[in-house]
Amino acid sequence: MKAGRNKTIDLSVEEGNEYLKKCLMLDKKAELPDVLDKTILGDTFEVLRLLPKESVDLLIVDPPYNLDKDFHGNKFKKTSDEAYLEYTEKWVELVKPLLKADATVYVCCDWISSPSIFMVLKENFHVQNRITWQREKGRGALSNWKNGMEDIWFVTNSAKYTFNVEAVKMRRSVIAPYKVDGKPKDWEETENGNFRNTYPSNFWDDISIPYWSMSENTAHPTQKPEKLLAKLILASSNEGDVILDPFLGSGSTSVTAKKLGRHFIGIEQNVQYCIWAEKRLEMAEEDKTIQGYADGVFWERNTGRLQRKGRKRE
């Protein structure tokens, strides 16, 4: 039995079978309308070969990191840096022809996988930046520093690319409220506190991993938060654009793309994860909210109460 406030997605076998029917299995070359807004069940190294060329505006990749991980039966085994680099080259070679000339690519990784991934990305794309996501998870290590961060590489197909900086501003509390002629200098005085909307940096400390009291939560071992994907999607795509995720997991990229009015294509080899993705896509029909993103800005951690207060006032 789940505790009352536990919102983790959980389905019966019968329900699961219904969601599975919505997924696609590809055995021949597809046109864009065949695969648009679909979850494709299959091996990404096979499926990518069947997708239409030059059709993707934004590629978001969260591949298995170079560590031992059990994805509910599909085990990824830690390998040498050289073998992981070859693995990365393999999927990059397959996704590259699918990208439009002005496409953007984000690749998530941990500090161990990051050097191999960077080597491959710099050979194939224009490297724009590396985002550091400060991520709290798990217990401390007894003989090492606990890992509290991940990298997200930001690369583009050419020097021309989309970057909507106004769409990804952060609302921060003002610690030292500086005034000129009695008026706030670049900040806003509200009944809920003093705030400043700031341009985002490449250090992200405002995003928690999904946990049991969040309605986006599943039992996927490495689920990414919708808030993180919302930043990538709002900054680097426009409404109606096509977003591809070749390692979809529990569907976070597709769900966030749908909530923000973008098209999506997701590929995942695990049946259970495809089912969760479809369930979440159905939930997104009714509920377009993204935890931590409200009133067109991203909020700091633990400000849910302030966000709700603001909404009630409107």
Sign of the CA dihedral running 124, 247, 55, 127: negative
Give 36 or 219: the residue with its C-beta nearer to ligand SAM.
Answer: 219
Binder of ligand SAM out of 52, 64, 266, 310 (CB under 6 A): 64
Give 195 or 256: the residue with its C-beta nearer to ligand SAM.
Answer: 256
Q: What is the DSSP secondary-structure string of 175-236?
A: SS--EETTEESS-EEETTEEEEEE---SEE-S-PPP-TTSTT--S-TTPPPHHHHHHHHHHH
Report the C-alpha gap between 263 and 245 in whole angstroms. Answer: 11
Task: Please identify the residue of the shown chain whose CB is closest to the bound ligand SAM.
Answer: 249
Contact 71, 117 (CB under 8 A): no
Q: How far apart are the first and last CA of the chain?
A: 38
Binder of ligand SAM out of 233, 267, 284, 290 (CB under 6 A): 267
Tell me the window of 21-29, 195-203, 219-227, 230-238 that interacts with ligand SAM (CB under 6 A): 219-227
Helix axes 81-95, 114-124, angle to 10 degrees: 40
CA distances from 101 to 55, 156, 276 (A): 9, 9, 32
- Contact call for residue 249 and ligand SAM (CB under 6 A): yes
Pick from 234, 16, 1, 223: nearest CA to 104: 234
**Residue 280 contacts by C-beta under 8 Å, 6 or more apart in sequence?**
9, 216, 218, 250, 251, 252, 254, 255
CB of 221 to ligand SAM, least distance (A): 8
Tell me the window of 39-47, 164-172, 187-195, 293-301 that interacts with ligand SAM (CB under 6 A): 39-47
CB of 123 to ligand SAM, least distance (A): 22
Binder of ligand SAM out of 88, 116, 250, 272 (CB under 6 A): 250
- Contact call for residue 109 and ligand SAM (CB under 6 A): no
- Contact call for residue 43 and ligand SAM (CB under 6 A): yes
Pick from 297, 307, 311, 301: nearest CA to 167: 297
CB of 106 to ligand SAM, least distance (A): 11
CB of 24 to ligand SAM, least distance (A): 13
- Contact call for residue 71 and ligand SAM (CB under 6 A): yes
Give 186 or 287: the residue with its C-beta nearer to ligand SAM.
Answer: 287
Give 168 or 267: the residue with its C-beta nearer to ligand SAM.
Answer: 267
Report the C-alpha gap between 147 and 299 in whole angstroms. Answer: 24
Contact 251, 9 (CB under 8 A): no
Binder of ligand SAM out of 38, 171, 224, 259 (CB under 6 A): 224
Q: Which residues bind ligand SAM (CB under 6 A)?
A: 43-45, 62, 64, 71, 74, 220, 222-224, 247, 249-250, 252, 267-270, 273
